[in-house]
Chain A
Amino acid sequence: MESFRQKLELVEWGTISQKIHSSDSRSIECALSREGSGGLDDFVALLSPLAGEEYLEEMAQLAHRLTIQRFGKVIRLFAPMYLSNECNNICDYCGFSMGNQIPRKTLSHTEILLESSALRKSNFDHVLLVTGESTNKVGVEYLFEAIKILNNYFANVSMEVQPLSEEDYCSLITAGLHAVLVYQETYEKVSYGKHHLRGKKTNFDWRLETPDRLGRSGINKIGLGCLYGLTRDWRTDSYFAGMHLDYLEKKYWKTSFSMSFPRIRPYEGEINPVVDLKDRDLVQLLCAYRIFNHELELSLSTRESPILREQLLPIGITTMSAGSKTNPGGYSVTDNSLEQFSISDERSPAEIALMLRSKGYEPVWKDWDSSYHGKGNNLSKVGYNSVTNKQNADALSSVS
């Protein structure tokens, strides 16, 4: 079956890198004047060192205007919910890596309810489920049940877990799954091999073809991204993520897409990043992606500092996490000892909402409804059942 793998094999990393690094003023100005309508050619120019050095303010102004035009003065908020830190992979940058001697935990159904209650009290209506990769302990059946439970409490349930089969995705969609984030981490195969040392995640192609399987399953949204710090030439890595996006968007035209920009942060088991993506570089990436794709959701996590998150807001960000805990049970059940990475922006969801308002942005907690999936519990968020559900969650919370 045709997938992005065949497309990627046709394009030389070195050729793209050379094009990016030799982009001139003419190509950058052309990309800016036609507002990115030149597609991947424009993206090459916008990713270039010269664009970062000499055109950054102009790029930011354009990115800002395009974002406001498409998304308005609103920022969607979500919270990650870590369900498990069990993992059978060894990846040299990850806190959950199997070799790390840390306590392991997988939330029970009751604990998932407690976490839901805590997040609902902070107003969150969009939740992102996160796990490591442990097929035995956190398999498709577990995820299916978790999604079904969470659909009673949240308007929108997304997931960032191990790559699954098309059949499994179809099944999870019937449980109410809205979106799946699956970052390739890096599109440079040799570098990928150096960082992913053992376990199923060593299979570059299986991961690369995951968005194709998701697209075929009919999922609403797919999240892509590189993990910055793994591969020295981050500009070329970003190009391939953009190329992946471009391919997927044309092929799976009913699906929407998001892009994230994680940078390696200090936590248990960390390596030193092979390249330090500077704030200026991150700004260039946000601008380049926005000008390249006006509809793309650009997401920023609590890995970044409060000051930087505020500065990046007007540049093109549409979605943010807030008050995140990166350990299973972090909102209600356990302390922070099991976290995947330490966060930088520790402000509460209420503080983030206040900050957004002060900057002229409406914080949006709900921008979906589980009934859009035609679920039986369709009135959970808009109608009678929500009261009952909320009372249940409150009751559980008071037990704890």
Chain B
Amino acid sequence: MNDYLNNIEIAGESFESRLFVGTGKFESGELLKQSVNASGSQMVTVAMKRANPTSEEDSILDFLDPEIVKILPNTSGVRNAKEAVFVAKMAREALGTNWLKLEIHPDPKYLMPDPIATLEATIELANDGFVVLPYCHADPVLCKQLEEAGAAAVMPLGSPIGSNQGLESREFLRIIIEQAVVPVVVDAGIGSPSQAAEAMEMGASAVLVNTAIAVSADPVSMGQAFGQAVEAGRMAHVAGLGSVRRNAQATSPLTNFLS
């Protein structure tokens, strides 16, 4: 059995692909569909403000096959815990799922997640039976608190949403991954397949990518590239990476006399 292919489990559900995909910024619904297919992702997140299940006009949901991908509604756009809880309940009723990617960013410029409101909403929603995946800062203590509050996974950021800057928070991600007892999904800022692979090599359970795929000149190929990178990164992590040294490793000049 190829160990690297083991599935990721969240709240008792199992997913082969460790790549989650966001659905914003795509040029068309058709291109979104093809990109998601090419990526092999089985988890896609949809902003409730964009979802329109009853519309006759094209809705993002029309292009996603729930047989293939799990729809993870998100609360993008809310500014506090109260709004987030409200939107979560709307999503549960409209889409028939208790899974939720919790995003609370009161700052519309850098879309930084509000740690206090996110923790408050996680407590309330988890108590209400939601499977909560909170988007948060790469803050190890916050991630432990979210775990204790009942989060099914934590989604710390690599760098600001949509920035493609990669894993600027890597030192803190390392601590979060080391300490976590729930899956760690690195979300936001991953701009290239190599950065996704880096997160997976570090031991992240999964990564979420949106902008880097959606605004690529060829989103379908880019989706596929991310799918392969995530798999390669996972394989490398499981296989075990060699340690990094600053100097060449010579013989043992200081302990040679012992032999």
A→B interface (CB under 8 Å): 68-74, 123, 125, 155, 220, 249, 253-256, 295, 357, 360-362, 364-369, 371-374, 378-379, 381-383, 386-387
Whether the Cβ atoms of B25 and A383 lie closer than 8 Å is: no
B236 at the interface (CB under 8 A from A): no
Chain B interface helix/strand/loop/mixed: loop
- Report the nearest B residue to A156, measured CB to CB: B49
**In the complex, chain A residues whose CB is within 8 Å of the CB of B54:** 381-383, 386-387
Q: How many A-B residue pairs have CB under 8 A?
A: 101
**In the complex, chain B residues whose CB is within 8 Å of the CB of A372:** 49, 77-78, 83, 86-87
- Report the nearest B residue to A368, measured CB to CB: B49
**In the complex, chain A residues whose CB is within 8 Å of the CB of B82:** 374
B28 at the interface (CB under 8 A from A): yes
Whether the Cβ atoms of A253 and B109 lie closer than 8 Å is: yes
Whether the Cβ atoms of A254 and B79 lie closer than 8 Å is: yes
The CA of A374 and the CA of B88, in the complex, are separated in Å by: 11
The CA of A362 and the CA of B58, in the complex, are separated in Å by: 10
Q: Give B48-105 interface residues, CB cut-off 8 Å to A.
A: 48-57, 77-79, 82-83, 86-87, 90, 93-94
Whether the Cβ atoms of A71 and B25 lie closer than 8 Å is: yes
**In the complex, chain B residues whose CB is within 8 Å of the CB of A381:** 52, 54
Chain A interface helix/strand/loop/mixed: loop
**In the complex, chain A residues whose CB is within 8 Å of the CB of B90:** 369, 371, 378-379, 382-383
**In the complex, chain B residues whose CB is within 8 Å of the CB of A256:** 108-109
Whether the Cβ atoms of B214 and A255 lie closer than 8 Å is: no
Shortest beta-carbon distance from B207 to chain A in Å = 19
- Given contacts A362-B29, A368-B77, A372-B83, A382 and B52 within 8 Å (CB-CB): yes
- Report the nearest A residue to B164, measured CB to CB: A69
The CA of A249 and the CA of B162, in the complex, are separated in Å by: 20
Shortest beta-carbon distance from A254 to chain B in Å = 5
B24 at the interface (CB under 8 A from A): yes
Task: State how many residues of chain B have any CB contact under 8 Å with chain A.
Answer: 35
- Given contacts A69-B211, A379-B94, A254 and B86 within 8 Å (CB-CB): no
Q: Give B136-154 interface residues, CB cut-off 8 Å to A.
A: none
Whether the Cβ atoms of A382 and B51 lie closer than 8 Å is: yes
Whether the Cβ atoms of B25 and A364 lie closer than 8 Å is: no
Shortest beta-carbon distance from B122 to chain A in Å = 18
B→A interface (CB under 8 Å): 24-29, 48-57, 77-79, 82-83, 86-87, 90, 93-94, 106-109, 162, 164, 211, 214-215
- Report the nearest A residue to B215, measured CB to CB: A68
**In the complex, chain A residues whose CB is within 8 Å of the CB of B27:** 72-74, 360-362
Whether the Cβ atoms of B109 and A249 lie closer than 8 Å is: yes
**In the complex, chain B residues whose CB is within 8 Å of the CB of A379:** 90, 93-94
The CA of A256 and the CA of B111, in the complex, are separated in Å by: 11
14 contacts between A and B (CB under 8 A): A73-B25, A73-B26, A74-B25, A253-B107, A255-B108, A256-B109, A364-B50, A366-B52, A366-B55, A371-B87, A381-B52, A382-B51, A382-B90, A387-B54
**In the complex, chain A residues whose CB is within 8 Å of the CB of B56:** 123
Whether the Cβ atoms of B109 and A365 lie closer than 8 Å is: no
Whether the Cβ atoms of B83 and A383 lie closer than 8 Å is: no
- Given contacts A361-B27, A372-B77, A372-B78, A378 and B86 within 8 Å (CB-CB): yes
The CA of A220 and the CA of B77, in the complex, are separated in Å by: 10
The CA of A255 and the CA of B105, in the complex, are separated in Å by: 11
**In the complex, chain A residues whose CB is within 8 Å of the CB of B86:** 371-372, 374, 378
The CA of A320 and the CA of B49, in the complex, are separated in Å by: 18
**In the complex, chain B residues whose CB is within 8 Å of the CB of A69:** 162, 164, 211, 215
- Report the nearest A residue to B93, measured CB to CB: A383
The CA of A246 and the CA of B90, in the complex, are separated in Å by: 35
Specify which of A70, A125, A360 lies most central, judged by the most chain B CB atoms within 10 Å of its CB: A70
Shortest beta-carbon distance from A398 to chain B in Å = 18
- Report the nearest B residue to A357, measured CB to CB: B28
Whether the Cβ atoms of B49 and A365 lie closer than 8 Å is: no
